[in-house]
Structure 1
Amino acid sequence: MSTEHPTQQTRTAAVEVHRPVPLTPLPAPLPVVPAGGVPEVTTIVLPDGRTLTGYTVPAAQPAPLTAKPPVSRAAVNIALGGIGFAAVCGGLFLLTAFIAALTAFITQLVILAAVIFGGWIAVQILGHRDRGAGATVNIRKAVIKRNHFHS
């Protein structure tokens, strides 16, 4: 058993060495042979006297242009949006008229409730009272001497 602290122990690990494997070069791609047969071989003599021989490469043809429609898609989308907005405007007008009418109706109901409740309160306060319920005091017979009330 070791007397060293566990963090001071040295550990040996197996070392793996990876060596790169060289890739074998791919062969040059074969020229595309048109359906008509083998392309023609061309020889060019450079100004310094060297001679180059190889296949002719046809010029790249651009993709054919698609015919543009007489009206752009953006214009069609804007027109359709305008037609849809015009179709909705009538419904929006009716919706706002309905909301205004509903608001007026609710306001009238609140005012009517306030008038009825206020009238009920007024009748309760100012209405006819039962005279037998309270004590009646005849003030005409009372005598006031030196700011003191004698009944």
Structure 2
Amino acid sequence: MNNGKLLHIHTAARTGRPMVSHESAIAVADAGLEGDRYLTGVGRFSRSPGSRDVTLFENEVLEALRKEHGLELQPNEHRRNLTTAGVALAQLVGKTFTVGAVTLEGLRLCNTCRFLNVASRKQVSVPLADRAGLICRVVKGGAINVSDPITLE
């Protein structure tokens, strides 16, 4: 895997609240990002089985949506915590990797849902099929920063 890079960090305090952009964040092992709805257990899918500490989304998918479908989806609109560049997230399922000083485990790919259509006010759930991001567990917490490298362990 070529080294990727972290482009954006976003959190939301509650389901449906706007995503807030950050230059840095603290990841807590087996919990999530400080200030995010999933760390506090109030996310839309908090009661669903399985961990969902942190979610990632590829910037390349944002570009593809624009080119293929004429859809402008901004990094704060895809509802994932971290926007990446230069790394195919599907290849990280079942693998451990680092984002700066934080170690993550890729658990499963995100499903698309109609809630994203409502939240973004754009019809994106169908075009995002099979490329809606990656759900991860925080193995080792710490600080993450925009521009941190993403490397496979």
Q: TM-score, normalising length from structure 1?
A: 0.10
**For the pair shown, which has the larger CA radius of gyration, 1 or 2?**
1
Q: Select the structure that is richer in helix.
A: 1
Higher strand proportion: 2
Bigger RCO (CA 8 Å, 6+ sep): 2
**TM-score, normalised relative to structure 2:** 0.10
